Chains A and B, each alone.
Chain A
Amino acid sequence: MSGAADTTTPKLRIRGLRKAFGAKQVLDGIDLDVPAGTSLVVIGGSGSGKSVLIKCVLGLIEPDEGTIELDGKNLLAMDREGRERAVATMGMLFQNGALFDSLPVWENVAFGLLARHRVGRREARERADAVLAQVGLAPSVGDLWPSELSGGMQKRVALARAIAAAPDLLFFDEPTTGLDPIMGAVIDGLIVDVVKRLGSTAIAITHDMASARRIADSVAMLHKGRIVWQGAPETLMASGNPIVDQFTHGRREGPITMELRR
């Protein structure tokens, strides 16, 4: 897939993406480029459309308008098989882990391998153990059930599942939500490590500014369905954009609060 793309083509290019749920316009003309091999963090308030943006790229939600190009090819113009092949090159870490609670940990990690690559169960188990080791978990964890794991371990397992098939494009939805600061830093470190090792392109969405600065090569602020600012993580805390400044500093007063008061 990447062979068709030249060096100037971003891994992911989004243009004019719109999505409404009833009268609520959640995405209102998103334009975004994510160069290959980089990590973009999208920040924004609750309900700003961050998760909807990712779900549109993954094909979980059908957008109303716009284009989503992966290596220069419009995903929305592809037939079902083409879209499935494209999604097979992506991995996703869900906010709550979304582990399959009817399967043991190792089958969760190997699920994509078993389903997508048709490997045998013995080989899948060996590969699951290897991926679990990459996220700092012992092979014995593979025999546990998701309900037996702590929140931090569940996030690690979910990360292992997302990277098991070595995807080209990785999505992280609120990777540190619900974790203590130390475990959050550990998960961020793992994300940075695996993205670097796989040479993948990554898109993370988060409220956590510390997490954003650790993961990001670039940060974009989503507000009222639009990208209102994009820049380097070093400039995040002094962006000069009043919306970004209010959000990153957690101020009660500012354009976001004023809109809520209307």
Chain B
Amino acid sequence: MGRLLDAVAALGRAVIAAARQCGRITLFAADGVSQIVRPPFYPRMVARSLAEIGYFSLPVVALTAVFTGMVLALQSATGLARFSAETQIASLVVLSVTRELGPVLAGLMVAGRAGAAMAAELGTMRVTDQIDALTTLSTNPMKYLVAPRLLAGAIALPLLVVVADILGVLGGYIIATLRLGFNGHVYLENTLNFVETQDVVSGLVKAAVFGFLVALMGCYNGYNSKGGAQGVGSATTAAVVSASVLILAFDYVLTEIFFVR
């Protein structure tokens, strides 16, 4: 009986700790978002964050998208051949890329690259008193450090996903025409005929949410890091892991909202 009570107590403590953490993250996000719309604004910081999250993530996202499109075309060719439905490869590739794989894989790549970098930068600033120094220089750290990154995350990832969508389809096109012997003109026509505006828009909305989540977890974990190098390392790991899990969880929620009637 005693052991059972201990187990229940431990479970209760874990649930309370998780709820408390969710509350802290929600308050942090609310503060960060409110700082986006209140002056003073820091356009240079937004531009810098856009470059870090968007421009510098472009190569890894582009490579991921191309290879994903190629693998999709190859896999679907072997799978669809069982039903003599190889002509559907183009539609399968474009739907998969625009609705799911483009935003999710780009989000995960950006979480690993830019989210980790944000957590490391803010964590280092925290443990070396740079964040306290901002406060003593009449600068709200949430406004100067966090708000520009949240805004940049929500803007940069949809832009990356536009590129990922195009390159993903291109990857499928390359395999379909060069490896599977499809007519290129017909493949592209099938792609354009099948894809709908909602497919692309839903992917871009997902990307905006994922970009915000990546920036939020990078900033939250970095901003609240403690200790020295070990604390910064832990914050970086937590930022990537939590952002990746949240991307997958929110992907399900957003898919329910967009596509399930």
Measured CB to CB, the residues of A under 8 A from B are: 55, 58-60, 84, 87-88, 90-92, 94-96, 98-102, 111-112, 115-116, 161
Contact = CB atoms under 8 A, between A and B. Distances in A.
Contacts of B138: 84, 87-88, 112, 115-116
Contacts of A161: 137
B224 interface: no
A94 B138 CA distance: 15
A90 B128 contact: no
B139 A98 contact: no
B136 A90 contact: yes
B130 A91 contact: no
A94 B132 contact: yes
A98 B137 contact: no
Nearest to B144: A115
Interface of B: 40, 121, 124-125, 128-130, 132-133, 135-139, 144
A102 B52 CA distance: 13
B48 to A, nearest CB: 8
A55 B129 CA distance: 11
B136 A100 contact: no
Contact of B130 (A59, A60, A100, A115): A100
Report whether over half of chain B's contact residues are helix, strand or loop; otherwise say mixed. helix
Nearest to B135: A60
Contact of A111 (B121, B128, B137): B137
B135 A59 contact: yes
A94 B137 contact: no
A111 B138 CA distance: 9
Contacts of B125: 100
Contacts of B124: 101
A87 B135 contact: yes
Contact of B132 (A55, A90, A99, A116): A55
Contacts of B128: 96, 98
Contacts, number: 49
A140 to B, nearest CB: 23
Contact of A98 (B40, B132, B144): B132
B139 A115 contact: yes
B227 to A, nearest CB: 14
Nearest to B125: A100
Nearest to B140: A84
B152 to A, nearest CB: 15
Contacts of B121: 102
B132 to A, nearest CB: 5
A94 B133 contact: yes
Contacts of B132: 55, 58, 60, 94, 98
A155 to B, nearest CB: 14
Contacts of B40: 115
A92 to B, nearest CB: 4
Q: Which A-B residue pairs are the 4 nearest by beta carbons?
A: A98-B129, A98-B133, A112-B137, A116-B138
Given A95-B129, A98-B130, A111-B139, 5 more contacts: A91-B136, A92-B133, A94-B133, A115-B139, A116-B137
Contacts of A99: 130, 133
Contacts of A112: 137-138
Nearest to A117: B138
Contacts of A102: 121
A229 to B, nearest CB: 28
7 contacts: A60-B132, A90-B136, A92-B136, A96-B129, A99-B130, A101-B124, A161-B137
A90 B137 CA distance: 9
Contacts of A92: 133, 136
B129 A94 contact: yes
A53 B138 CA distance: 19
A58 B121 CA distance: 24
